[in-house]
Amino acid sequence: MIKEKNKLDRRTFLKASAMAGGGMMITFNWLTACKPTPEQVASLPKDWFDINAYLKIADNGLVTIFSPNPEIGQNVKTSMPMIIAEELDVDWDDVVVEQAGLDVSKFTRQLAGGSQSIRFGWQSLRMAGATARRMLMDAAAQKWQVPVSEIKTSKGKLMHGEKELSYGEVASVAGTLTVPEDVKLKDPKDFKIIGTSRKNVDAPKIVTGQPLYGIDTYKEGMLMAMIIHPPAFGMKIKSVNAEKAKAMPGIRDVFTINARPEGAEFQWSDVNAFPELVVVAGDATWQVMQAKKAVEVEWERTSPAEDTSGHEEGLSKLVSNPADEPQRKDGDPEGAFKRAAKVIERTYTAPFLAHNTMEPMNFFADVRDGKAELLGPIQTPEYLSKTVSSILNIPEDNISIMMTRQGGGFGRRLYGNFGVEAAVISHKLQAPVKLLYTREDDMTQGTYRPAYKILYRAALDENNNLIGFHARGAGVQGGPLFPNRYPAGAVDNYICENLNLESNISTGAWRAPQSNFVAGAEQSFLDEVAEAAGKDPIAFRLELFDRAISNPVGENNDYDAERYAGVLKLVREKSGWGKETPGVYRGVAAYYCHNSYVAQVLDIVLDNGQPRVKKVWCAVDCGIVVNPDAARNQVEGGIIDGIGHAMYSAMTFQNGEPRSNNFNSYRLIRHNEAPLAVETFFVDNGIDPTGLGEPSLPPVMGALANAMARLTGERLYDQPFVSHTMKMG
């Protein structure tokens, strides 16, 4: 057993006896309550209805655990309660899971982003389950008059010799005891739930079409609302003629709003290029959609109209000139390049990308009488609450936010402008409202993955040793490079520069921010460098890691070279790297991001004149895997997402206008283009969990490019790759 100091503040624990049901209720700073489903209501004690922020144990042994973080498909609504249940030592079949709402007084980091939900919650979730278990043990020890050290637990039962009690039988007594200062956490080798595959707790509702998502929300008396935003970036409303629309059946009102008024306090999540909007509100979705078409809006330009060609030119100028100050410089890179026997220089580009979640942006709001009830799919509920409070002058204590399951996030729902808009619209109408974006609204509103360009240079000596490395990257609204990541620390002479191109197009995090481009470019370049040095791609990378392990350069390297090399060795073994198969072309890549390490080998074949990914082997070091099936789903989803966007996707602009507004003009990967097989291997090292939702996406872009190069004999430098593959048809 691992003994840990209780890190949870005593004030976050509230003990109470559930008088009628005889249950124990323990408050944790990461839990909050919502009403059970009708099916559960029938079997639960009535005392549970009005409880907030509790782990609940009923007298019949049933345990209700509330999952605090937003669920965007990463499966935390299952995995987080699994961690609690493990330390509580209950049977998973006796656990009921419910989604929590926002409660900043009881939660920390109620946010879905950066693949950090499990990493940040790991210790506190375990502590909470272990603390509840210890209090139950204390109650049993008191009842039996024996030392607590002699009490054993298993699957919701307490045992001492031949004597046995269920948790429910001592729950009310446990609720009167002092919260212990020290509790014992399980040794990972004793885990019974963590490390086993458990089905998604929402799966039955998902497959039977029960309402879980924001877009499913329906409340009696609510109105439907839609927006009209400018057709191009750098424009705003000049005038509105809505007489025809207002006269249409079911239309309640047409008006303008400003979701970013002067004087309000805004959060980092309030990215929004179009805060001034025309709103159409009515009784039904179809009526509102038709009325939108009848609204006549005149627009005026407020800043320059931007084109994709202008972005490309601006980024090219930036990477052609050194930065005023490099972000990192080791040794004498200038000297290394001067004395090099061979210099390899390549430039890589990537376009803007839309998020294109399957569920378009939507939110429900009921803002009346100085209170706001908000409900919908949001990755950052706390920041939404702060912004709504500031704009509408409503105390945060009077704002409630419930999170629905989300039909995709990928970073888009970090930016809660749609939730703010719903609140402002409801406040204006003094009525409950569901705001719904059409796909066209969603795709053209902005908050894109930025366009990037990176120049890489490598210097080799006469023995083909890498003696110098230079990376200069530029991006819209920020450079793409991470100065302290590999190969920093593995090369004596190293320089990294980041440059920024200003734009009026709104940008934001897109799955694995920056890494989603850097990894592919870096790993493609390292393959070319290995080729120029006459070395095997994996052996070349491992040489660099050996240097970073034995004698690292600098002190700020943000990766563990041994773990990095470990996943490369594992994927080399599992894929049978080095074996040649006629007609099959291989690429390799490895990358570190979100505190995890991923290496991949990708096999590609030519199918009817077009490249087809046959198989991907993926090695992952993300520490302890809580739910293996869910983890594999995350890895496979990231791989497919990465391949699809590298091959096909791009958002372009003409006169500030997005050139794609739906899936007929914006290419995503199709079912028959996904890999035929993916094999995933997790490193079992017992380290606390790290990120998993994003790390498998970035490197696969590089593995794909390297495999394509072996197939075609030509290197790919510009995403999307589809323009190149079409030439092969």
The answer as to whether 212 is a domain residue is no
User: Cis link prior to 395 (omega < 30° from 0)?
Assistant: no
Query: Which single residue is written with the structure tokens 């060609």?
Result: 309
CA–CA dist 348, 234 (Å, integer)? 28
Question: DSSP labels for 49-61?
Answer: TT--SEEEE-TTS
**Identity of the amino acid at 161:** G
**Identity of the amino acid at 320:** S
Which residues sit opposite 5 in a β-bridge? 182
The answer as to whether 209 is a domain residue is no
Burial 598-628 (b: 16+ CB within 10 A, else e): bbbbbbbbeeeeebebbbbbbbbbbbbbbbe
**Identity of the amino acid at 684:** D
The answer as to whether 291 is a domain residue is yes
Coil/strand/helix, residue 620: strand
Fill in the DSSP letter of residue 221.
T
CA–CA dist 663, 641 (Å, integer)? 15
CATH code, domain carrying 225: 3.30.365.10
CB 55 within 8 A of CB 28: yes
The answer as to whether 571 is a domain residue is yes
Which pairs from 685-689 meet CB under 8 Å and 24+ separation?
A: 685/563, 685/621, 685/623, 686/188, 686/623, 686/624, 687/623, 687/624, 688/119, 688/122, 688/123, 688/623, 688/624, 689/118, 689/119, 689/122, 689/622, 689/623, 689/624, 689/625, 689/626
* Claim to verify: residue 524 and residue 401 sit in the same structural domain: no
CA–CA dist 667, 5 (Å, integer)? 52
CB 78 within 8 A of CB 97: yes
CB 695 within 8 A of CB 591: yes
Q: Where are the beta strands (DSSP E) in 11-94?
A: 15-18, 23-27, 54-57, 63-67
CA–CA dist 445, 657 (Å, integer)? 10
* Claim to verify: residue 167 and residue 86 sit in the same structural domain: yes
CA–CA dist 462, 168 (Å, integer)? 74
CB 658 within 8 A of CB 651: yes
| pLDDT reported for residue 26 | 46
- Between helix 515-532 and helix 628-648 the angle, nearest 10°, is 70
* pLDDT tens per residue across span 527-542: 999 999 999 999 999 9
Q: Within a 13 Å sphere around the CA of 410, how many CA atoms are in the beta-carbon half? A: 23
How large is the greatest C-alpha to C-alpha distance in the chain, in angstroms?
A: 83
Question: DSSP labels for 295-326?
Answer: -EEEEEE-S----HHHHHHHHHHHHTS--SS-
Q: Which helix (H) or strand (E) holds 494?
A: strand 493-501
Which residues sit opposite 56 in a β-bridge? 25, 64
* Claim to verify: residue 594 and residue 620 sit in the same structural domain: yes
Short-list 588, 453, 601, 457, CA closest to 517: 453
CA–CA dist 423, 426 (Å, integer)? 5
User: Judging by beta carbons within 10 Å of its beta carbon (0-12, 13-18, 19+), is residue 104 exposed, middle or buried?
Assistant: middle
| pLDDT reported for residue 35 | 43
* Claim to verify: residue 381 and residue 482 sit in the same structural domain: no
Coil/strand/helix, residue 349: strand
Coil/strand/helix, residue 519: helix
Considering only CA atoms, give the Rg of the chain.
28
Name the domain boundary from 171, 190, 209: 190
* Claim to verify: residue 490 and residue 550 sit in the same structural domain: yes
Burial 260-269 (b: 16+ CB within 10 A, else e): beeebebbeb
* Claim to verify: residue 391 and residue 478 sit in the same structural domain: no
Quote the domain boundaries for residue 178: 2-190
CB 596 within 8 A of CB 566: no
CA–CA dist 374, 716 (Å, integer)? 46
CA–CA dist 427, 433 (Å, integer)? 9
How many domains are contained in the chain? Answer: 3
**Identity of the amino acid at 494:** Y
CA–CA dist 597, 8 (Å, integer)? 30
CB 318 within 8 A of CB 499: yes
Question: DSSP labels for 111-129?
Answer: ---TT-HHHHHHHHHHHHH
User: Which residues, 6+ apart, have CB-to-CB distance to 668 below 8 Å?
Assistant: 356, 644, 645, 648, 649
* pLDDT tens per residue across span 250-294: 999 999 999 999 999 999 999 999 999 999 999 999 999 999 999
| pLDDT reported for residue 183 | 86
The answer as to whether 203 is a domain residue is no
| pLDDT reported for residue 725 | 52
Coil/strand/helix, residue 44: coil
User: Which residues, 6+ apart, have CB-to-CB distance to 686 below 8 Å?
Assistant: 188, 623, 624
* Claim to verify: residue 347 and residue 403 sit in the same structural domain: no
- CB atoms near residue 123 (< 10 Å): 15
Name the domain boundary from 424, 444, 464: 444
The answer as to whether 487 is a domain residue is yes
CB 402 within 8 A of CB 504: no
Fill in the DSSP letter of residue 656.
T
* Claim to verify: residue 398 and residue 494 sit in the same structural domain: no
Name the domain boundary from 378, 411, 444: 444
Q: What is the mean pLDDT of each run of 10 residues along the chain (729 residues)?
A: 41 33 40 41 35 57 84 93 93 89 83 92 88 91 95 95 90 80 90 96 92 96 98 98 98 98 96 97 98 98 97 98 96 98 98 97 98 98 98 97 96 97 98 98 96 98 98 97 98 98 97 98 98 98 97 95 98 96 97 98 94 97 97 97 97 98 96 97 96 97 98 96 60
Fill in the DSSP letter of residue 105.
T
Short-list 91, 82, 25, CA closest to 59: 25
| pLDDT reported for residue 572 | 98
* Claim to verify: residue 17 and residue 123 sit in the same structural domain: yes
Fill in the DSSP letter of residue 443.
H
* Claim to verify: residue 477 and residue 546 sit in the same structural domain: yes
* Claim to verify: residue 184 and residue 282 sit in the same structural domain: no
User: Which residues, 6+ apart, have CB-to-CB distance to 133 below 8 Å?
Assistant: 87, 88, 89, 153, 183
* Claim to verify: residue 470 and residue 550 sit in the same structural domain: yes
CA–CA dist 670, 52 (Å, integer)? 44
The answer as to whether 214 is a domain residue is no
The answer as to whether 317 is a domain residue is yes
pTM of the full predicted structure? Answer: 0.92
